[in-house]
Amino acid sequence: MSPPVLPLACPLPLDRYPAVTLAHGGGGRLMQRLIGDLFRRAFDDPLLARAHDGATFELAGRVAFTTDTFVVRPLFFPGGDIGRLAVFGTVNDLAMCGARPAYLSAAFVLEEGLAMERLWRVVRSMRAAADEAGVRIVTGDTKVVERGKGDEIFINTAGIGTCPAGVDPHPARVRPGDVVLVSGDVGRHGMAVMAEREGLAFETAIASDLAPLAGLVADLLASGTDVHCLRDPTRGGLAAALHEIAVAAGVRVDLEEPAIPVADDVAGACEVLGLDPLHVACEGRLVACVAAADAARALAALAAHPLGAGAARIGAVAASPTPMLTVRGALGTTRIVELPAGDQLPRIC
């Protein structure tokens, strides 16, 4: 089944309802039209078309189940938008469990006054992203809140994926001696959103790395590597992802700073703003912990995929009485990386 060709312009009659009203969330005629003419049209799936309280389908074996709400501001940024992010974000969480993403739900909180054209742009983008990632959006929900009680669009996606037999990457499986790999340069997504939101003009526009990672994970698993742990370094960046792994596994993770790929434009923007790229979110990168004996073939498998072209070996895992994350700089001095209390970059996902 080939994906539908969706019109560029919103299929709802904009002369009558150019913007979302409270009535669009009220369970009446306007909500029926919004769901039928906009959401079902874009997502166009036989399970969704059944118009029931939920979708039903067959599953067998071990499955992964995850959820994420997206509140990114602004809705559109270089390299993506909230719709694409909502699809790939959940696809990637499933992929990090070693699962093949299959089914997604999509639930919207719309702010009264949102331009219907903006909603259509987001929903179209979600459909395109779902096709790209090979997942189906099969059930959904819409709520509308009063002006000033939301912020244009919040999207929750939950996802179900199927786990291949014997595959169970998990932080607790990380062991001293493991090697830490990253699939590409870090910090793009956070800086792209930040620059767009704050109207910062750098020499070149930084585009988000936003991408679906299930294909890359499949290739990595197909290489025969026993992948101990996978994690996508989103909120809190590489530092938060590896910190969590260190705590869950009760180990020390030692990074080599010069080995961590950071694009020049991202590094420059971080320097201007006083940010450390280690703490800046990615949305199309993964961190993998594998046994040292597997490191070369794992790296080769990552590098052979378009989304892993910038893959690098960035560190190793050591035994430690206290879980921690360290970074050795270019000059050979090592520092402990603490988790910051919060984040310098709110609402980037």
Containing H/E element for 113?
none
Q: Examine residue 277 and say whether the peptide bond preceding it is cis (omega within 30 degrees of 0).
A: no
What 3-state class would DSSP assign to 199?
A: coil
Question: Does residue 273 belong to the site contacting its own copies (CB under 8 A)?
Answer: no
The CA radius of gyration of the chain, in Å to the nearest whole number, is 21
Asked whether position 166 contacts its own copies by CB under 8 A, the answer is no
Least distance between its own copies and beta carbon 229 (Å): 9
165 contributes a contact to its own copies by CB under 8 A:
no
* Residue reference for tokens 């037999």: 165
Joined together, the tokens standing for residue 319 give: 């035994």
> Which residues in 33-52 contact its own copies (CB under 8 A)?
50-52
Nearer to its own copies, 46 or 258 (CB): 46
Where does this chain touch its own copies (CB under 8 A) — which range of 37-45, 95-103, 296-304, 321-329?
A: 95-103
Q: Are 261 and 303 in contact (CB under 8 A)?
A: no
Q: Which of 255, 218, 204, 251 is nearest to 233 (CA)?
A: 255
Q: How far is the CB of 88 from its own copies (least distance, A)?
A: 13
Among residues 6, 14, 291, 339, the one that binds its own copies under rule CB under 8 A: 339
Work out how close the CB of 136 gets to its own copies at its nearest, in angstroms, rounded to a whole number.
11
Note whether 85 binds its own copies by CB under 8 A.
no
* Touching its own copies, residues 222-251 (CB under 8 A): 231-232, 234-237, 240, 244, 248
Single out the residue of 202, 20, 253 nearest to residue 118, CA to CA.
20
Contacts of 80 (CB under 8 A, 6+ apart): 88, 208, 210, 283
Looking at the DSSP bridge assignments, the partners of residue 141 are: 107
Interaction of residue 93 with its own copies, rule CB under 8 A: yes
If one asks whether residue 274 binds its own copies (CB under 8 A), the answer comes out as no
Closest contact distance (angstroms) between CB of 223 and its own copies is 21
Check residue 151 for interaction with its own copies (CB under 8 A): yes
The answer to whether the CB of 49 falls within 8 A of the CB of 120 is: no
Q: Which is nearer to its own copies, 53 or 198 (CB)?
A: 53
Cβ–Cβ under 8 Å, residues 101 and 214: yes
Closest CB to its own copies among residues 235, 297: 235
Residues 105 to 124 in contact with its own copies, rule: CB under 8 A: 105-109
Identify any residues that bridge with 230 across adjacent strands, giving them in sequence order. Answer: 288
Query: Which CB sits closer to its own copies, 325 or 331?
Result: 325
Q: Does 150 bind its own copies (CB under 8 A)?
A: yes
Rounded CA-CA distance 67/157 in Å is 6
In the complex, least distance from residue 9 CB atom to its own copies, rounded to whole angstroms: 23
Contact status: 212 vs its own copies (CB under 8 A) = no
| Stretch (H or E) spanning 28 | none
Contact pick of 39, 43, 103, 120 for its own copies (by CB under 8 A): 103
Q: Is 19 in the site for its own copies (CB under 8 A)?
A: no
Which one-letter amino acid corresponds to residue 228? Answer: H
| Of 1, 5, 15, 58, the one binding its own copies by CB under 8 A | 58
CA-CA distances (angstroms) from residue 214 to 229, 232, 305?
14, 11, 11
Name the minimum Å distance from CB 60 to its own copies: 5
Stretch that binds its own copies, among 139-147, 198-206, 207-215, 304-312 (CB under 8 A): 139-147
Cα 339–Cα 343–Cα 344 angle in degrees, nearest 5: 125
Site for its own copies contains 67 (CB under 8 A): yes
